[in-house]
Amino acid sequence: MQFSARRYDTCDAVRVELAEQRLARATLLPAADEPLPWLAPGFVDLQVNGYGGQEFSSPQLTPEKVAVIVREHWAFGVTSLCPTLTTQSFECLVHGLGAIDFACQSMPDIARSVPGIHLEGPYFATEDGPRGAHPIEHCRRPDWDEFRHLQEAAGGRIRLLTMSPHFDEAPEFIARVAASGVLVAIGHTGASGAQIRAAVDAGARLSTHLGNGAHRMLRRHPNYLWHQLAEDRLMASLIVDGQHLPPEVVKTFVRAKTPQRCILVSDVSGLAGLPPGRHASSGGDVEILADGRLVIAGQDQLLAGASQPIGVAVANVMQFAGVDLPTAVAMASAHPNLLLGRPAGTLRPGDAADLVLFDLVERPAPRLEIRATIVAGELVYGRLA
């Protein structure tokens, strides 16, 4: 496979050749007669809850529906994603995890795009605010035996666990989970500074969607946002869809953590892609407002997931935090890959051919328009010049 594009990191026009699922070479071209799309490593989204009316944490999930969700995300430039199951009953989680595992076992193209599963919950407090939209009746204390059974149901594919570290038993539990090879993230928490430090000492390495899943009113200082921002051992995932965090907060978080410790996620809801109106979800009724926000039904302030793909975050973080295109792309590709223990993903010969081609439109507001997505050297979405 061959095509022409412009590198996202050097701006050079190149002729790209792919072979055996890898980038074989990228040859410099003279100035192009017409604009070329940008070429970058494919986006890696650690937090995808579903799409188009289907959630991963649902008793109606099937392997076929898993495949549909993954393939739909190729259109967003996503070459790898972590199917995310949120707080639910043990039986519901077992079902969803099993469906994802079967999809990966039976469909090689899906397995190539799923480096692991993200389990967001169920080990959260029942407290309003930090709990977010997670159903109160299914929030519970950490349980190693339960987690082990969930991992068995997933075929060992759980790669990331988000939990609150405020429980007395959290440090010991986090240490066991981390020792089993699973990344532990802090999220949906009202934990104290001491509890956050203990969690990080035990092996926690990420703050999940920092700034969201929090009290609506916080003590000025200290509070758990400052503690996580100041903890250099924690990376932070951010939902930069223009709805979950104001631009000034994104700018402050990126500067405090540094771009190297920031990861962009979409947190796309299973209801994303549906028309405005009231819809049922596993966590209760959700309403999609005219402006695209997903909120807990009956009000317009408490969000219940996101509706925008990760490419929106790439464009927004450039505008909000003043970072350049290579930095923004790294936050959506190299940084999540490295957190997962995978190669960062560059455009060097021999790298995996997981690529996205896009146009960066500047007006009326910066946005990415995806032209093509390539997974393991195969064109899975769009067209190539």
Query: What CA–CA distance (Å, rounded) separates 38 from 357?
Result: 5
Annotated catalytic residue within 33, 267, 291, 354: 267
Interior CA angle at 189 toward 187 and 195, to 5°? 100
Query: What CA–CA distance (Å, rounded) separates 355 from 94?
Result: 33
Return the residue matching tokens 């190297």.
Answer: 260
Query: What CA–CA distance (Å, rounded) separates 341 from 201?
Result: 19
- 267 among known catalytic residues: yes
- Burial label for 123, CB within 10 Å (0-12, 13-18, 19+), is buried
Query: What CA–CA distance (Å, rounded) separates 121 from 147?
Result: 11
The residues, ordered by sequence, that sit 6+ positions from 46 with a Cβ below 8 Å of its Cβ are 81, 82, 84, 118, 160, 237, 263, 265, 336, 339, 340
Q: Which of 384, 382, 381, 375 is nearest to 41 (CA)?
A: 375
Give the β-pairing of 378-382 and 367-375: antiparallel
Query: What CA–CA distance (Å, rounded) separates 321 from 325?
Result: 11
Q: Which of 49, 45, 47, 48 is nearest to 78 (CA)?
A: 45
Query: What CA–CA distance (Å, rounded) separates 213 from 216?
Result: 9
Contact of 134 with 188, CB cutoff 8 Å: yes
Residue 203 has a CB neighbour count (10 Å cut-off) of 17
Active-site residue list: 267
